[in-house]
Amino acid sequence: MILPFSFMKSIAQSYAISSIPYNPQPFVGISVLGTFIGSPAEDGVTGALPIGFDFCFYGNTYNQFYISANGWITFTQTSVQNFTSVAIPNPGGNVPRNCIMAPWQDWEPGVGGNVMYQTAGTAPFRRLVVSYLNVPMYGCNQNLGTFQIVLYECSNLIEVFILSKPPCSFVGGNAVLGVHNATGTVATTVAGRNSTNWVVLPATPEGWEFIPDGSCAGSAFNGFASIDTTSFWPVVAANCYTTTIGLKVGEGELVCSTIDPNGSEIRLYTPQGTLLQTRTVAASCVNGRTDSLTIELADQFLFNGDHYLVVRNGIDGDGLMGECGTGAFAFDTVIVRLGDCYTYDTQVNMLNVSVNRDNESSTLTWNKPPNFDPNFFDGYKVFVKDSVTSLRWREFVYIPMIDDTTLITSEARPISETKDFRAVLRLKFYGDLRSNGDSINNIWLRALGDQLDNGLRGMASVQWSPYKGWTPATYEVYVAAWSDTSLGTLLGSTTDTFYSFEKPIEIGKYRVQVLTKHPVEPRIALSNFVPFEMILREITVPNVITPNGDGANDYLWIEGIEFFPVNTVELYNRWGQRVFSAQNYANQFSPTNLEAGTYIYKIIIPERDLVQGPIKIIK
């Protein structure tokens, strides 16, 4: 089973850190929108204060917070008075926890400066901004710090912007820049800034982003009747041969207008990791909210096992399975489980094996399995053991016709050692090509052979997986220079999934791509692109040819000419008369009919300058 790990989440939230440009929210003063919290008592904490929206931090959801005089905010009330930073994580009773430190050190806002907060923006894109503006450092009151913490609704991102954190000799100037969980057991800090001495000056301000990985408690799937209570993801059952899935959605969690009926939010992967294309998504709506979803696929379910229904962002930018801002944190995966299909490579018992009398071959005959569905399989793979004691089965033939259950083979001549055979049904795949393009329902494009990227001029072929989002599908094939931001030049169109074309002659890097358009609506699906390069190759012409039939240097052998299959090669005598000419020359000329002497060669290749020079024929 191939599990798409890239779509997995853990309920235990953690954070990654990324450096970002310094681009703070406005440091809003008392007279504008910001709420001035006054001067917190020395080493004091002010709150509770409203965030203005639900915010997820280390797996829990909060709607209020507290501001410390010493450069951190927390989501739980605390009486911590410690002003001296220590390295985190740290479960000590005097260490701030469940907090964002930006940075934690001994500040003294009671002496000067402003501390303020505001909730800005409109749902579901609101943000809480907490600003420390020109706050003195304790023990270095002349040195002022300015920094900001920003919390984002829905994404739960945390940003920290630091304009100034000047040096100070008090307790070594140590400070912490990071986040700390509620138990003091998990923390994420910026490298080199975990209770160490560091400085930020206005000439080089900084921005940092703390990116959550995981979700808060709660799920938009509370309407599911899961068939597996041990799974983190919701599990629903489906039937073989069906093309639809019905999903019950938690009451009121999904706004109908967020659903793209063309299925752009949905990816459904088989247990083998291939893609099942989505055709449509329909919602049952009551008062603008969704009660259930019906997902129609372009192919039938065929495989036993767990399929992974992956939810992407909806057409409004929100997750399909939860409206941002409602407090419903969406899973990104639903397991669709099938157990009543054929098992892939189902073994078929072979019956009535007979042997011909001519000592040259054997006839193998087997039966179809009971309740056989001819639409399900596309042929038989026949295996043999080279001896009855062997443990290794070797496939030696594939029979692409379901009704052909007889094989005449020399693998089991009567005079040879007794061998074991078996026939295995080959299941119809949803497509032999792995679908990993970047379109609504994915077209996967590949080059056939090495003709595309061998650097040579001439023909090349590409093939792609069939598109089933609409039928019939007509495909357009485009080629573009690597630096071109458009689709490029239309090479042609086809209803097949195979296309051959003449490559460009100009030296450079290119890409080829396939597009299909909806026959009526203004919708398209685009494949991945396949890169290729036209390379400038060197060619070398010999100085001397000795066409005496000894097998050495008998031919006009131009090294590298094979890289330029479109060419013209000419020879001229000393009077300027052309004595030989060939197009698409391939080192096949031996000048046995020419007199000894000096000649001039000319090699004409469309994508490079004329190559010419003297060559001597010696006899």
pLDDT for 416 equals 54
Average pLDDT for 482-493: 89
Q: What tokens appear for 106 in the block? A: 């001994």
Closest C-alpha to 320, from 335, 307, 331, 308: 331
C-beta of residue 71 within 8 angstroms of C-beta of residue 107: yes
**Amino acid at residue number 210:** F
pTM to 2 decimals? 0.44
Confidence check: pLDDT of 354 > 80: no
Average pLDDT over residues 118-127: 80
- Indicate whether 37 pLDDT > 70: no
Mean pLDDT over residues 388-411, rounded?
77
The vertex-245 CA angle with 369 and 237, nearest 5°, equals 60
Distance CA 16, CA 462 (A): 40
CA dist., res. 90 & res. 184, Å (int): 5
Lowest mean pLDDT among 88-102, 289-303, 376-390: 376-390
Taking CA atoms, 296 is separated from 299, 305, 617, in Å, by 9, 19, 74
Q: Could you tell me which CATH number the domain at 445-534 has?
A: 2.60.40.10
Residues of the chain with CATH 2.60.40.1220: 235-338
Please, where in the chain does CATH 2.60.40.10 lie?
Answer: 347-427, 445-534
What per-residue confidence (pLDDT) applies to 598?
A: 94
More confidently predicted of 36 and 309: 309
The correct answer on CATH 1.10.10.10 for the domain covering 347-427 is no
Residue keyed to tokens 């090699």: 603
Return the sign of the alpha-carbon dihedral for residues 267, 270, 275, 280: negative
Q: Does domain 235-338 have CATH number 2.60.40.1220?
A: yes
Average pLDDT, the chain: 78
Nearest to 223 by CA among 339, 322, 337: 322
Q: Which of 196, 201, 140 is nearest to 168 (CA)?
A: 140
Is residue 8's pLDDT more than 50?
no
Question: 485 or 46: whose pLDDT is higher?
Answer: 46
Of the candidates 303, 311, 198, 317, the one whose C-alpha atom is nearest the C-alpha of residue 242 is 303
Categorize the per-residue pLDDT at 602 as very low, low, confident or very high, splitting at 50, 70 and 90. very high
- Torsion angle, CA of 599/603/608/614, rounded to 10 degrees? -10
CATH topology of domain 544-617: Immunoglobulin-like (2.60.40)
Which residues are within 8 A (CB) of 18 and not within 5 positions of it... i.e. 6 or more apart? 208, 209, 211
Q: Which residues pair with 310 in a beta bridge?
A: 267, 333
Region 291-320: what's the mean pLDDT? 71
Cα–Cα distance measured from residue 471 to residue 473, given in angstroms and rounded to the nearest whole number? 5
Q: pLDDT value at position 396?
A: 82
